[in-house]
Structure 1
Amino acid sequence: MPDTASLSTETTATPGAKLRGLLSKGGLQVMPCCYDALSARMIAQAGFPLTFMSGFAVSAARLGAPDTGLISYAEMLDQGRNITAAVSIPVIGDADTGYGNALNVKRTVKGYAAAGFAAAMIEDQVAPKRCGHTRGKEVVDRDSALDRIKAAVDAREEARALGQDLLILARTDARHGHGLAEAIARAQGFAELGADILFVEAPRDPAEMETVCREVPGWKMANLVEGGDTPLLSPPELEALGFSIAAYPLTLLSAAMRALRDALAAMASGQHPTGLLMDFSELRERVGFDAYYAEEARYAGARERD
């Protein structure tokens, strides 16, 4: 028989508590990243225990625009509400720079908590920010970066007082222009302020990744971008180094875009892209038609009994 007490606790746990419990188990969590409710739903259907709303991918999917600070807080929050409503697994939300000063950071973190995110990621780039694996990014000075995380941590505590629990994922992009030592110093400062998860973006080789894991305390995230600056180590290698989360921010977007491109090319040449398509019955099931019809029948049955 199932442990009903454990099932009840898992069902009623806040998103933050679910994520905290997952990371507390130790080991590495492989985290495909989503960009809309359907991609998040498919990640959950595949059995992954968490996901991340990628700012790069959301900007591409929602605006058809690059991740260069064009998408707004309101647009990201709206996308996030749809994503968190579609799944029961914890969702980490890309909150960019917090969309302004320390008070904007607090508003952003509280908004993400209310939207059902398990964590919010705040970074130290100059606004407008850029994808961490593209050129032209700059960071604010260290004191300003620390102020952002202090505001985020304060907002986390204020949200908890309202029953809204989420974690703070603190990111630094200082490796690009200021070197690894500065990036590590910032991450250490973020940890001292109470950030829950630390993320040093774009280390260049396994030795740098090992240094990050050795010198930065707590839970650490690796960001694996195909064609990016960080080597694509295997999950066992990442776990051995000491990472807790392996994020794949663009893998699903890239796969979807390639499938779209190939299907369109086939149609443009007068062919039907049959070999690229999901069976219609599976398509309906994954979108939720089968569950909808089952629930519809349940209520229709109740009317008949009445």
Structure 2
Amino acid sequence: MSSPATDLRALLNQDRLHVMPCCFDALSAKLIEQGKFGVTFMSGFATSAARIGQPDLGLMSYAEVLDQVRNITDAVSIPLIADGDTGYGNAMNVRRTVHGFAKAGAAAVMIEDQLAPKRCGHTPGKAVVSRAEAFDRIRAANDARTEGADILILARTDARHDHGLAEAIDRAARFKELGADILFVEAPKTVEEMHTICRELPGPKMANIVEGGETPDLSHRELQDIGFSLAAYPLTLMASAMKAMAATLEKLKADMDRTPDLMSFSELRDRIGFNDYYETSARYETSKRE
């Protein structure tokens, strides 16, 4: 029987790049699925902004993130990779996070080696924990999976920032040995560094493309040729939505015509699911058939 984790494994077994727009709520995830993308990622940066209106600096709790995971997996059928940050505590908290995300329907959970409270990978001030603590997090995540959590582990290291690429690659290689399914070296600064990551590390690798961030914004073909299996775009949808909303608010304030900027009411209703609801609910209107 298929599961989100099984579906994601099947995608990763394909010898190609999977472009992964990142969602931040159920509606953005639905739009990604409607756009025919095969997988999505719940961006911690975007989710923190959308859910609590605060920056991604470790302010959201485990319970808030878990609730958002449930909302998204309830709304879509494509696999969701969920941002588990540092695991919300020590190794025992990591185990709980992995079990919880699996029960909520996530296909994979990302666990990183940042010092709590974590920071967005392309903003200043981030630091990583010791190798021993970082390895314990991935060991605990794998233990939870061994105990029955049907979920993949995406292991992330931010060691490139303070300790250099070699340390980041060494950590990621050890993550793989400890059971990680997907490796993510955050914020390589050059195309050559991206080549080195894919050349030296085994298994599926993820690239994180932040427009205006530190990692080169390469084409999909270039990312695939380098060797990445996943390309996450964590802020693309949120940045475009925020720009559109800010512009429309200015037009509304100035009493200008804003209709050219709006999705039609008919399409909006259809994308949200009104038509599907009406079609399904019609089966239960027995009084009209009797």
- TM superposition score category, shorter chain reference: over 0.9
Equivalent residue for 1:104? 93
- Quick check: 1:225–1:249 contact (8 Å CA) kept in 2? yes
Shift of 1:159: 2.6
Aligned mate of 1:280, from 246, 252, 265 = 265
Q: 1:270 aligns with which of 255, 258, 262?
A: 255
1:32 and 1:51 in contact (8 A); partners too: yes
The AA in structure 1 aligned to 2:2 is A
Distance 1:92 1:276 in 2: 31
- C-alpha distance after superposition, 1:22-54 (max 9, x if no partner): 111120000000000000000000000000000
1:53 aligned residue: 42
- SS of the aligned residue for 1:140 comes to coil
Q: In structure 2, what residue type is equivalent to 1:125?
A: Q
Conserved? CA contact 1:113–1:159, under 8 Å: no
Correspondence 1:1-306 to 2 at 5 A:
12-160=1-149, 165-300=150-285, 302-305=286-289
The answer for unaligned runs of 5 or more in structure 1 is: 1-11
Q: Over residues 113-151 of structure 1, what are the superposed CA-to-partner deviations in whole Å (9 max), with x where a residue is unaligned?
A: 000000000000000000000000000011110110000
State the AA in 2 paired with 1:222. A
| In structure 1, C-alpha distance between the alignment counterparts of 2:213 and 2:5, rounded to whole Å | 29
State the shift of 1:272 in Å: 3.3
CA distance in 2, matches of 1:125, 1:194: 19
Residue by residue over 1:218-251, the C-alpha shift from the partner in whole angstroms, topping out at 9 and shown as x without a partner, is 0000000011000001111010011000000000
Structure 2 gaps, min length 5: none
Q: CA RMSD in A?
A: 0.9
Q: Quick one: distance in 1 between partners of 2:17 and 2:143?
A: 28
TM-score when scaled to structure 2? 0.98
Counterparts of 2:201 and 2:130, CA distance in 1? 19
Query: Which aligned runs of 4 or more in structure 1 are off by greater than 6 angstroms?
Result: none
Percent of aligned positions that are identical? 64
TM-superposed deviation, 1:273: 1.4
Distance 2:155 2:146 in 1: 15
Q: In the TM superposition, what is the alpha-carbon distance from 1:305 to its structure 2 partner?
A: 4.4
Distance across 1 between alignment mates of 2:259 and 2:188: 41
Output the CA distance in 2 between the equivalents of 1:213 and 1:95. Answer: 23
